[in-house]
A and B are shown apart, each in its own frame.
Chain A
Amino acid sequence: MRAAGGPDVAVGGVLLSVENVSLAFGGVKAVSDVSFDIRKGEIRAIIGPNGAGKTSMLNIINGFYHPQKGRITFKGETRAKMRPHDAAYRGIARTFQNVALFRGMTALDNIMAGRTLKMHSNFFWQLLRYGPAMREETEHRHRVEEIIDFLKIQEIRRVPVGRLPYGLQKRVELGRALAMEPDLLLLDEPMAGMNLEEKEDMSRFVLDVNDHYGTTIALIEHDMGVVMDVSDRVVVLDHGIKIADGTPGEVKSNQAVIDAYLGVAH
């Protein structure tokens, strides 16, 4: 599964590289001189106490915020300012902490909306809903149904998402992101607000996405157990600064990380 635009990167090569990125809102420094990379095919966790700048980091990667300093290189291309829809075209998809689904639409339509990138039949056929427009609709419906099967949400296809329980909404949101066939999937606290069983389900989905589709994943997560089980490498932020970077084992025993979480003054 490859997204449009940009050269292909070998598995294990660097897919995304964040270099010396700094972002400040007025006087508040959200992110200060942070550098790390994400390798293709891996699951990278970004963790840290509240207010560490994790969501800001994600927002920078997908083009919502523009850092004052530093640069982002994605698939070998360094870019200055990127608009959110550019991120989509280049192959970056995202889910949100507070589920950002289209509430007026059904689950199926939400995920179909994720296919918009790939649908090109022109306006004239759309007017008639015939010929190329209908063929395209059916073809993409096929792909979307694969995702629906994968996420096991068949029964709720036609339910307006506003009526779904929280856990299912998060799954639909994941489905919409997957529908974009991204190279890089950004997950912002995908397990937030879930009980143990739901977390296990979601963890399995995350691993399966990485396995089955080969999608590189960057996720923000607070549950340490999940982070240790699921991720290949971890980046730890605190007060906007990177304080650790390595495998889960390395990071877990890092004193600076322990201090940050225990709230030791530094």
Chain B
Amino acid sequence: MTASILDGIVLGFQFGLLAAGLTLVYGLGGVLHLAYGQMAVISAMVVLFTLDAGVPVVPAVGIGLIAGGLLGLILDLTILRPVYRLQGEARVLLSLLLTLGVAFVVDGFLNWRYPLVGLSLHVGGGPVELLGVPMRRGSLVASGVTLASFLMLFGFLRGTALGRAVRSVIEDEEGARLVGIDPRRMLRIILVMSGVLAAIVAVTRSMVAPVTVTAGFSITVFALIVTVVGGLGSVSGALLAGIILGVVNSIAASYIGTFLSLIILLAAAALTIVLRPAGLLGVRE
């Protein structure tokens, strides 16, 4: 049981970080980013090919993170341009359709060109004992990196003028305009950040299990579920929901079966919508 819970927390940090990126993009700009998992996969492939080219791990990961950020920027400058011209529901729908299109194209290309390729980063050394459970070093390093990323994200949002500006757009876009903030610029910054977050998740995930070219959609689906449970626009909600769902997923997988764990996660999300439509820490409209 302890082992399942610890595994679940490790997974939960990653779920949380995934959802943080998605929830910020949605909360800030009403853009539902369904190519999010593909951004993570492309970043993982960039790390893989950089490693294959003989570059050491740390700079290769750095290049992967930059690639993630660039992907966000490219999306902002190209496919999302027509989306920004729309408002409200139309914006959500068009962003959903266009990013879904991107996701299909990326998935199709990767499957055709690089089938059966996956990134696995091996963290050396034997298992480390934690609460009487032997934990793989990879899991611990992954959790450390994910938590550090969360702390940096919170620090940015709470402690910097730019982070405050980002939050103000989530709170009230017109209010933000009235204090001289350009919401478009904030959204661009957040899309770049979400790309970097997706890359961090891809890299840390690969320390625990291989990230394959086909992982994109399942990453997006997990991120969506966690986002809904955590509350749209809430980063702390994403972390909390990530941990809860990570533990639920891991216990369900070891006691009921992996095939049912996704259904149990979906049920948890559906239950949240019924009981708390705004999510755990979301704001009620």
Whether both chains belong to one complex is answered with no
